[in-house]
């Protein structure tokens, strides 16, 4: 286990992460270009929602990425607390900003999509409300890093925040099955047959990959900044 943790020493990590952003940026530009082309031009309009359905190609990937990032933050925070590895907390902190951004994008695009679909900008639907609650957990997490100075206390409180917040993730996922909501049931499933047509599924997955790359880019920039702070303090390890 000690050998594994040595791989997370700032100097060793920075050798990789400092060079990675330019390659991630290049790959992101390629993937997002393909995704936008597929989503805006080649994918068909919906027979009920017409062209407004294209908001899906931003809304759904943003929601997925937001949920994935918060789940990763919970795993990293808990691992950091159990194994007393501060770098796990640093990685979690660096992920949080992009997670919040994608959470807000999901809420805003959902509101825009809701107006022509449901006739209202906002409804206290179970999934919408639970996504709003997730955004509040993101805010609490980032606020804890800003208002507290004692690192040990920050590690403890942020771990608690993520552990409470992760309870909301399955609620978001299964809210359409548990309650009568405005959202339709899931069209994409690993365990059952996917109901979305391939002409819409392909651009959706491409846009998801593009958003994942963009979140990785934001993470690398934030994480490199944190590593520089550590190096400036003269620390060889966290």
139: left (phi over 0), alpha (psi -120 to 50) or beta: alpha
According to the model, what pLDDT value does residue 124 have? 85
pLDDT digits (tens, 9 = 90+) for 52-75: 889 999 999 999 999 999 999 999
**Residue pointed to by tokens 């399955």:** 170
Q: For the chain, what is the mean pLDDT?
A: 87
Cβ–Cβ under 8 Å, residues 62 and 102: yes
User: Does 217 fall in a domain?
Assistant: yes
Classify residue 150 by burial, with Cβ atoms within 10 Å: 0-12, 13-18, 19+: exposed
Rounded to whole angstroms, the Cα distance separating 99 from 45 reads: 29
User: Does 7 fall in a domain?
Assistant: no
User: Does 188 fall in a domain?
Assistant: no
Rounded to whole angstroms, the Cα distance separating 43 from 37 reads: 9
User: Does 26 fall in a domain?
Assistant: yes
Give the range of the structural domain holding residue 162, as residue numbers without chain letter.
Answer: 20-40+54-180+196-232
According to the model, what pLDDT value does residue 60 have? 94
Q: Tokens at residue 98, please?
A: 């992009």
User: Does 97 fall in a domain?
Assistant: yes
Position 190 confidence tier, pLDDT thresholds 50, 70, 90: low
User: Does 6 fall in a domain?
Assistant: no
Cβ–Cβ under 8 Å, residues 160 and 126: no
Position 196 confidence tier, pLDDT thresholds 50, 70, 90: confident
Q: Is the dihedral of CA 20, 25, 26, 31 positive or negative?
A: positive
Beta bridge partners of 50: 46
State yes or no: pLDDT of 213 exceeds 60. yes
Q: What is the pTM of this model?
A: 0.90
Rg (CA), the chain: 20
State yes or no: pLDDT of 180 exceeds 70. no
Q: Is the dihedral of CA 208, 214, 217, 218 positive or negative?
A: negative
User: Does 12 fall in a domain?
Assistant: no
Chain centroid offset of residue 10 CA: 24
Q: Tokens at residue 121, please?
A: 């900008």
CB atoms within 10 A of CB 81: 18
CB atoms within 10 A of CB 70: 27
pLDDT digits (tens, 9 = 90+) for 142-175: 999 999 999 999 999 999 999 999 999 999 988 7
Q: Which of 146, 137, 145 is nearest to 164 (CA)?
A: 137
**How many domains does the structure of the chain reveal?**
1
Q: Give the number of C-alpha atoms closer than 13 A to the C-alpha of residue 193, restricted to the C-beta side.
A: 2
Rounded to whole angstroms, the Cα distance separating 7 from 220 reads: 17
User: Does 90 fall in a domain?
Assistant: yes
- Burial code of 11-37, b = ≥16 C-beta within 10 A, e = fewer? eebbeebeebbeebbeebeebbebbbe
């Amino acid at each position: 286990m000690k050998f594994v943790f040595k791989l997370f020493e700032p100097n060793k990590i920075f050798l990789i992460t400092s060079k990675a952003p330019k390659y991630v940026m290049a790959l992101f530009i390629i993937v997002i270009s393909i995704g936008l082309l597929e989503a805006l031009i080649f994918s068909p309009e919906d027979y009920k929602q017409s062209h407004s359905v294209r908001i899906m190609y931003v809304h759904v990937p943003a929601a997925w990425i937001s949920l994935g990032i918060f789940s990763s933050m919970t795993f990293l925070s808990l691992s950091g607390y159990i194994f007393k590895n501060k770098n796990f907390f640093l990685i979690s902190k660096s992920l949080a900003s992009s997670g919040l951004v994608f959470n807000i994008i999901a809420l805003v695009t959902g509101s825009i999509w809701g107006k022509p679909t449901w006739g209202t900008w906002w409804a206290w639907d179970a999934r919408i409300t639970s996504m709003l609650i997730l955004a509040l957990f993101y805010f609490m997490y980032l606020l804890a890093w800003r208002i507290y100075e004692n690192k040990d206390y920050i590690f403890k409180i942020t771990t608690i925040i993520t552990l409470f917040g992760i309870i909301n993730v399955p609620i978001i996922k299964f809210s359409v099955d548990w309650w009568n909501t405005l959202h339709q049931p899931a069209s994409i499933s690993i365990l059952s047959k996917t109901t979305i047509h391939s002409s819409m599924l392909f651009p959706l997955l491409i846009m998801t990959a593009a958003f994942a790359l963009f979140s990785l880019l934001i993470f690398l920039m934030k994480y490199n900044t944190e590593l520089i702070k550590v190096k400036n303090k003269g620390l060889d390890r966290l």
